[in-house]
Each structure stands twice: as C-alpha cells, then as structure tokens.
Amino acid sequence: MAKQARAVRTRRAVLEAAAHVIGAHGYQAATMAEIIQRAGVTKGAVYFHFTSKDALARAVVTEQSRPFLPQVSESRLQDAIDFTHRVALALRSDALLQAGTRIAVETTFSEDPLMPYRAWTDIITTMFTEARRNGELLRSVVPDRAAEFFVAAYMGVQLFSRAATNRADLPERVTALWRHTLPGLASPGALGHLDPQGRSVPAAV
C-alpha cells in the first residue's frame, strides 16, 4: 500500500475509534489512551494525525455530515425533509454522528462554540434559501434563522428519542417535527405537496 493511502486509512481508523469511545462514554470521560488502544495503532501514529482530544473532536464534528450530501430535486423543502430522515436512520448506528451529538451537548469550543452545529446549519440554510427562490417558503421566513431554529429543534428531538427508545422511534419523531413546523415554514402552495415522512425512506417503525 502506498504511504499516503496507509496514512489515510490510519487517520480514518483513529477517527472511528475516537467516535466509538466518545459515543460510549461521552466526550469528557473519553481518554486518548483508550482511543489509541481501540484504534490499534501506535501512539505516534495517532498524534501524527491529531495532536489532542480536542483536535479529534473537531474532526468528528466537521466530518460527520460528509456522507449525507442532500439530493437536489425540484422541491428543496422536500429534499430537506428527506435529508433529515436519512440522517435519523443513520443516527441509530453511525458512530461519528452519535459522537457528534455527545460533543455538541458536552463541549463548547471557545473560539467557535457553534462548530458542532455548523455543517448542519450550512446544509439546511442552503436548502431553505433555494426553497425561498422556488417560492416554497412563507414570506415571513428568513432562511438562515429558520435553519438555525430547525437544526436546534432537531438536536432536541433526537436527544429526546435517545432517552425514549434509544432512537428506535426517531423516524416518527422527525416526521412529527416536520408536521409541527411545516405550517410555519412552507407557503400554502407548497404545503400540500410535501411529505413529512420523506420520499424513498422506509416507513417509520
């Protein structure tokens, strides 16, 4: 294996080990020693990629959303609904997403305390901004403020679902989140065409 490919693989193994340890014990209780042990690589290899637990946390929160690039269809509001359902299903088993939640609620990075939320608010802001151009939003809705509200509410809903059912009922709760918020987001013309359960997502169990 080429040197660079090996480095990429090692970095990924460390990141996933960190996500598992943080997801299991929380960010504050997680130690570099346990992360190094779980990754199965040398201490030197870990510190080559990440100089501290803080650096690992930053990588988790900036990279957790990458596999979930939203689709682009004629309805950006429906794209947003579908996107949040895909993330909900993944949250049940995706170590990076689960660790990202622990980091968001336990930690605030002093120079950018909103970092754990930023990738999500950026994605939703883009979709809401394009929904505005398509005439899908109520005139009173401000896309970036609405995106901040939505991401915050989604965080609360998935924490509640974790407490209620270890996230088994998260798809239903995400549907309920949209049912309760779409009348305050979508224009009357768009509202009738939107499916709060998401398209091409397995029915809520």
Which parts of this chain interact with its own copies (CB under 8 A)?
Answer: 25-26, 28-29, 104-106, 108, 113-114, 116-117, 140, 145-146, 148-157, 159-164, 173, 176-177, 179-185
What's the closest the beta carbon of residue 110 comes to its own copies, in angstroms?
A: 11
Choice between 135 and 184, CB closer to its own copies: 184
Choice between 89 and 115, CB closer to its own copies: 115
What gap in Å lies between CA 3 and CA 182, rounded to an integer? 50
What's the closest the beta carbon of residue 185 comes to its own copies, in angstroms?
A: 7
What's the closest the beta carbon of residue 68 comes to its own copies, in angstroms?
A: 19
Choice between 41 and 147, CB closer to its own copies: 147
Q: Report CA torsion sign: 127, 132, 134, 138.
A: positive
Choice between 40 and 135, CB closer to its own copies: 135
CB 47 within 8 A of CB 102: no
Beta-ladder partners of 137:
186
What's the closest the beta carbon of residue 130 comes to its own copies, in angstroms?
A: 19
CB 36 within 8 A of CB 86: no
By three-state DSSP, how is residue 186 classified? strand
Choice between 41 and 137, CB closer to its own copies: 137
What's the closest the beta carbon of residue 146 comes to its own copies, in angstroms?
A: 7
Secondary structure in 3-state letters for 39-76: HCCCHHHHHHHCCCHHHHHHHHHHHCCHHHCCCCCCCH
What gap in Å lies between CA 138 and CA 131, rounded to an integer? 10
What's the closest the beta carbon of residue 56 comes to its own copies, in angstroms?
A: 18
Choice between 68 and 117, CB closer to its own copies: 117
